[in-house]
């Protein structure tokens, strides 16, 4: 399974054909983290955009936070927050990928490449 990072979802919402084609051609099933869903809603400009995001998100399987994901995220923050400036949303997305054995598709490889156990796509 492939977990899409928020930046991939944003590019699709913006109509980026290269990103859309890339995601549509993925051979594995696709999911998103509930954190990415929250980030998209948070960034919406108005209620019309919220409805657009709601429809868009419904196309994907959403992986919700669990005790295991939260525990892993705490460890990642403990390990990488000060040395690599890992923030909470990225630690939760990374933890979701690691715990669920998903590859993470992101345009921000530098935000995740140092994390042990993550597989980037």
Please write the tens of the pLDDT for every residue from 59-97. 999 999 999 999 999 999 999 999 999 999 999 999 999
Report whether 53 contacts 42 (CB < 8 A): no
Tell me the average pLDDT of the chain: 97
44-54: pLDDT as tens digits: 999 999 999 99
Residues 6 or more apart whose CB falls under 8 angstroms from that of 57 comprise 32, 37, 40
- The full set of domains in the chain, from first to last, is 2-109 (3.40.50.1010)
Average pLDDT of the segment spanning 104-117 = 96
């Amino acid at each position: 399974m492939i977990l899409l990072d928020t930046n991939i979802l944003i590019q699709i919402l913006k109509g980026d054909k290269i990103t859309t084609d890339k995601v549509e051609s993925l051979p594995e099933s696709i999911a998103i983290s509930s954190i990415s869903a929250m980030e998209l809603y948070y960034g919406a400009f108005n209620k019309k955009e919220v409805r657009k995001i709601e429809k868009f998100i419904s196309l994907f399987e959403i992986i919700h936070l669990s005790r295991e994901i939260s525990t892993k995220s705490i460890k990642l923050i403990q390990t990488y927050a000060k040395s690599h400036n890992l923030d909470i949303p990225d630690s939760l997305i990374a933890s979701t990928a690691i715990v669920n054995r998903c590859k993470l598709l992101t345009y921000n490889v530098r935000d995740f490449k140092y994390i042990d156990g993550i597989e980037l796509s």
